[in-house]
Amino acid sequence: MNRKVSKAIFPVAGLGTRFLPATKSVPKEIMTLVDRPLIQYAIDEARAAGIEDFIFVTSRGKSALEDYFDCAPDLEAALEASGKTELLKILRSTNMESGTIAYLRQHKALGLGHAVSCARKLIGDEPFAVILPDDVIAGETPCLQQMVEAYQETGGAMVATMEVSPAQTSSYGVLDIKSQDGPIVSVKGMVEKPAPGTAPSNLAVIGRYILTPQVLANLDTIERGAGGEIQLTDAIAEEIRTGRDVFGYRFTGQRYDCGSKAGFLQATVAFALARDELREEFADFLAEMHAVRQAAQ
């Protein structure tokens, strides 16, 4: 059996410029879907997959992330005194135990590969996960948990993948497929943001990875790729070039690109409708809005 995946890297150093002016003072990862910040969905998914050590690669201006996962004694005391036990339980679920979470600074914006490499000393010689909080994935079984279970059988490196339209492939890392066995795809190549019409497939890499320490070593030797950045996709592709196994995992679930405004709004609607206490009132509102729009046309 392959080694347990117990560490996860969360690259959260980005400036979130697509959400300005909100992100002038609030890290994008703290922006909320219904009543939870994006980063909480990522943490919950990691916990469900058995992750025990959480590594945040941050940048200047991200201190709100540290505050969010810290204890709030005054707020807890106020909730307890007022008998709001359910809210207190929810609040305490966001606390992270001392020693389970670490924060590192990415001093230069050199890409996702560089952000991941910043955590190398905390990873050591263990397999590890990478979770991009912008990709929020709703599913009966959390995406990373699906991948960890598959990884126990396959080993190697593994990326989450999903089909996108041919017009969208130039925005993603794209897989060149060798073979497929159920949800597991054996990969013979990866291309980061291929030029339109040149993608080897329409299977795009989504922001969930299970990687080996060798990928960290590859990040030291590869040249800068698309956009002049150190691309994680290129370091994974080096695994293939040197004869090591790389797999894609076609997860079951709905992915929302919360790095875009449209994707964030779509996720907000979907997660609101999934909540029992919000569904009826919110669905009625959406129906009224649709009726108004139809009448206006």
Q: Give the model confidence (pLDDT) of 19-62 as tens digits.
A: 889 888 888 899 999 989 999 999 999 999 999 999 999 888 77
CA dihedral 87, 89, 95, 98 (to 10 degrees): 150
Is residue 24 domain-resident?
yes
Q: Say what the pLDDT of residue 225 is.
A: 66
In 3-state terms, what secondary structure has residue 249?
strand
**Domain presence at residue 53:** yes
The per-residue pLDDT for 226 is 64
Instruction: Kindly state whether residue 181 falls inside one of the protein's structural domains.
Output: yes
The answer to the question of residue 281 being in a domain is no
pTM over 0.75: yes
Mean pLDDT lowest among 95-104, 166-175, 240-249, 271-280: 95-104
Write the pLDDT tens digit of every residue in 174-230: 998 988 888 999 999 888 888 888 888 989 999 999 999 999 999 888 777 666 778
Q: Is the pLDDT of residue 16 over 90?
A: no
Q: Is the pLDDT of residue 297 over 80?
A: no
Residue 226 neighbours by CB under 8 Å, 6+ apart: 192, 193
Per the structure, the count of domains in the chain is 1
> Looking at residues 253-269, what average pLDDT do you find?
95
Mean pLDDT value across the chain: 89
Q: Has residue 109 been placed in a domain?
A: yes
Query: Is residue 182 one of the residues assigned to a domain?
Result: yes
Determine, yes or no, domain membership for 195.
yes
CA distances from 50 to 46, 140, 207, 281 (A): 7, 16, 18, 36
Q: What is the CATH number of the domain that holds 120?
A: 3.90.550.10
Give the structural domain span for 220.
Answer: 7-259
Q: What is the mean pLDDT of residues 92-121?
A: 85
Q: 153 lies in a domain?
A: yes
Question: How many angstroms separate the CA atoms of 37 and 30, rounded?
Answer: 5
> How would you classify the pairing of strands 32-33 and 173-181?
unpaired
Whole-angstrom distance, CA of residue 181 vs CA of residue 7 = 27
